[in-house]
């Protein structure tokens, strides 16, 4: 849980657009904002930017809320928890945008634009054909022209902010990238309210960040080109400009923009579907663009918050390396107390309710024996599958190498005819190890230990790798071991 804020001068936000499920990029931005807030005892705010009415929907909003909470990133203020600066959903704030758009109109800093999107497209195409940048800055209309445009308009006008024509450059101070200078002559006039009355992103974001008293805008570098536009709007409205910090993008291994063609990009695909641990996912996300001062790589969210600073955030892109994620996740799985691991894997065992056939103690022993190679929680189903049911399938290739060789056949014969009836004691783990030793060191001492073990392992588990053989035999018990050895011999 994020602590109650005590520092009013740090207020940050994550402002997702609910046009898709929670994306790893949004989760990383949310995390950096969360860590920054937590580090400074500030406030972390969630704002829903749903002004793209066609692409936004409630199911995506829910997925984003659930995804962020599932990662442990809860917010102090937001649409569902309230706060003193709400509403926190842009579609509930339309009156506010209208008010400030009209203020700019009254000040003569904005104008009604009667040109239709089709006309704009045509102008853009013309500019492109002439290889010129398209900078939309229409000449102001005379009152007569305006009256005429109004009378003949087929749709309501949009409202645009006029970029001051004498402005040559806009200098953005960025906490990650330093000073970034933009050529103001390349900025077209900024849409404030679209023809349908809905605020455009660059305007809504400024009104919201200002009214919500956001101190630091920490977001992806894809928004850097929007920043000069936002900055001129702050200036026009006489509002204090927040500090900006633009994070390098998350890239695919081929350094292109991470997209669906590189595999899953939704947090739920990793955490819910594949069984990555939220705490491991957080740890992995933190290292995407932030580097700790030490060489350590495993951190709890508290440790991350303690160490986090924007100075150690990279402005270059960070590669989304699934192998690294797997490694981090494996570290968490192996270091987790076995009781916790048992709880966490439970949802993945429904198709293979192996835990139910063992006592808690045995089940924990089993889990401990198979946990080493687990990469994601869902791997547990396969890792324990051979402890479930009576029979086990032995792949033909494995059988040919292990139990069907002359030596293998002898192992099975001796095991079934002499070892099990006369020597097998699987009552405790220690006895099981001693029993196994009788087979290798006494009854089959002319064979290599490895040959004997492989044949037994193949027969009882149907695989070459897996839990330690002594533990496997102990957990399967004498009856099941006998049954599987007999099946293997057929």
Q: Is 130 designated active site? A: no
Q: Is 223 in the site for ligand GLU (CB under 6 A)?
A: yes
Q: Can you tell me which residue has the tokens 């993945």?
A: 348
Which of 2, 12, 17, 100 forms a contact with ligand GLU (CB under 6 A)? 17
Question: Cβ(116)–Cβ(173) under 8 Å?
Answer: no
The dihedrals phi and psi of 111, each to the nearest 5 degrees, come to -145, 160
**Interacting positions 231-290 with ligand GLU (CB under 6 A):** none
Q: Which is nearer to ligand GLU, 22 or 455 (CB)?
A: 22
For the bound state, the minimum distance from the C-beta of residue 82 to ligand GLU, rounded and expressed in Å, comes to: 21
CB of residue 205 vs ligand GLU: minimum separation in angstroms?
5
- Residues 6 or more apart whose CB falls under 8 angstroms from that of 126 comprise none
CA 280, CA 70: separation in Å to the nearest integer?
12
Name every residue whose Cβ is closer than 8 Å to that of residue 26 and which is 6 or more positions away in sequence: 14, 16, 64
Residue 328, CA distances (Å) to 47, 280, 398 in order:
30, 6, 32
Question: Which span (14-22, 147-155, 158-166, 369-377) binds ligand GLU, by CB under 6 A?
Answer: 14-22
Shortest Cβ distance from residue 197 to ligand GLU (Å)?
Answer: 19
The two three-digit tokens of residue 315, written as one number: 């402005």
Name the residue nearer to ligand GLU (CB basis): 228 or 330. Answer: 228
User: What is the crossing angle of helices 429-437 and 469-489, to 10°?
Assistant: 60
Per CB under 6 A, the list member of 2, 12, 16, 290 interacting with ligand GLU is: 16
Residue 370 has a CB neighbour count (10 Å cut-off) of 22
CB-facing half-sphere around the CA of 186: CA atoms within 13 A: 10
The Cα–Cα gap between 288 and 314 comes to: 9
Output 49 or 379, the one with its CB closest to ligand GLU. Answer: 49
How far is Cα 19 from Cα 154, in angstroms, rounded to an integer? 29
Nearer to ligand GLU, 27 or 398 (CB): 27
- Angle subtended at Cα 339 by Cα 334 and Cα 342, rounded to the nearest 5 degrees: 75
Range 161-200, binding ligand GLU (CB under 6 A): none
Query: Among residues 205, 310, 366, 485, which is the contact residue for ligand GLU, using CB under 6 A?
Result: 205
- Measured from the CB of residue 220, what is the shortest distance to ligand GLU in angstroms? 7
Which residue among 99, 150, 257, 260 is the active-site one? 260
Distance separating alpha carbons of residues 440 and 414, to the nearest angstrom:
11
Which residue lies nearer to ligand GLU by CB, 12 or 424?
12
- For 455, the 3-state DSSP assignment is helix
Q: Degrees (nearest 5) of the Cα angle 468, 471, 475?
A: 135
- Bridge partners of residue 77, in order along the sequence: 45
Tell the smallest beta-carbon distance from residue 209 to ligand GLU (Å).
8
Identify the burial level of 74 via C-beta atoms within 10 angstroms of its C-beta, where 0-12 means exposed, 13-18 middle and 19 or more buried: middle
Per-residue mark of binding to ligand GLU, 33-62 (x: CB under 6 A) = ----------------x-------------
- DSSP per residue, 43-109: EEEE-B----TTT--HHHHHHHHHHHHHTT---SBBTTTB-TT---BGGG-HHHHHHHHHHHHHTTS
Q: Measured from the CB atom, is 14 or 349 closer to ligand GLU?
A: 14
Smallest gap from residue 310 Cβ to ligand GLU (A): 15
Taking the complex as a whole, the smallest distance from the CB of residue 246 to ligand GLU amounts, in Å, to: 10
Binding segment for ligand GLU (CB under 6 A), chosen from 15-23, 331-339, 356-364, 463-471, is 15-23
CB of 15 to ligand GLU, least distance (A): 4
Residues that bind ligand GLU in the complex, under the rule CB under 6 A: 15-17, 49, 205, 219, 223
Active site residues: 260
């Amino acid at each position: 849980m994020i602590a109650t804020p005590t520092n009013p001068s740090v207020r940050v936000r994550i402002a997702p657009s609910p046009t898709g499920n929670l994306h790893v990029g949004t989760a990383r931005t949310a995390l950096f904002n969360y860590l920054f807030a937590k580090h400074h005892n500030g406030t972390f705010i969630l704002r829903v930017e749903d002004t793209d009415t066609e692409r936004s929907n409630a199911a995506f909003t829910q997925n984003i809320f659930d995804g962020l909470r599932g990662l442990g990133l809860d917010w102090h203020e937001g649409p569902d928890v309230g706060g003193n600066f709400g509403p926190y959903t842009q579609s509930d704030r339309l009156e506010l945008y209208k008010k400030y758009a009209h203020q700019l109109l009254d000040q003569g800093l904005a104008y009604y634009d009667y040109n239709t999107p089709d006309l704009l497209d045509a102008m853009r195409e013309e500019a492109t054909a002439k290889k010129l940048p398209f900078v939309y800055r229409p000449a102001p209309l005379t009152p007569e022209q305006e009256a005429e445009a109004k009378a003949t308009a087929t749709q309501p006008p949009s409202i645009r902010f006029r970029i001051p024509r004498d402005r040559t450059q806009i200098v953005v101070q960025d906490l990650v990238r330093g000073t970034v200078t933009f050529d103001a002559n390349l900025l077209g006039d900024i849409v404030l309210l679209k023809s349908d009355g809905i605020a455009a992103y660059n305007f809504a974001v400024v009104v919201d960040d200002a009214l919500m008293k956001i101190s630091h805008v920490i977001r992806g570098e894809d928004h850097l080109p929007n920043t000069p536009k936002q900055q001129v709007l702050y200036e026009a409205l006489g509002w204090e400009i927040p500090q900006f910090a633009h994070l390098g993008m998350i890239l695919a291994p081929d350094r292109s923009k991470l997209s669906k063609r590189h595999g899953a990009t939704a947090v739920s695909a990793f955490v819910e579907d594949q069984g990555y641990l939220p705490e491991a996912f957080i740890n992995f996300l933190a290292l995407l663009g932030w580097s700790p001062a030490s060489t350590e790589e495993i951190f709890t969210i508290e440790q991350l918050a303690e160490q986090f600073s924007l100075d150690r955030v990279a402005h270059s892109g960070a590669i989304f390396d699934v192998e690294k994620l797997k490694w981090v996740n494996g570290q968490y799985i192996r270091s987790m107390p076995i009781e916790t691991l048992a709880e966490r894997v439970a949802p993945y065992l429904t198709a293979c309710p192996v835990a139910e056939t063992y006592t808690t103690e045995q089940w924990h022993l089993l889990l401990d024996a198979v946990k080493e190679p687990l990469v994601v929680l869902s791997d547990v189903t396969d890792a324990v599958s051979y402890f479930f049911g009576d029979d086990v399938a032995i792949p033909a290739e494995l059988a040919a190498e292990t139990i069907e060789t002359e030596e293998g056949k002898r192992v099975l014969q001796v095991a079934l005819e002499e070892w099990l009836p006369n020597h097998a004691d699987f009552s405790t783990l220690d006895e099981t190890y001693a029993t196994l030793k009788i087979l290798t060191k006494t009854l089959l001492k002319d064979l290599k230990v490895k040959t004997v073990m492989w044949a037994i392992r193949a027969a009882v588990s149907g695989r070459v790798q897996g839990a330690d053989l002594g533990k496997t035999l102990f957990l399967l018990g004498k009856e099941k071991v006998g049954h599987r050895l007999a099946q293997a011999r057929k």
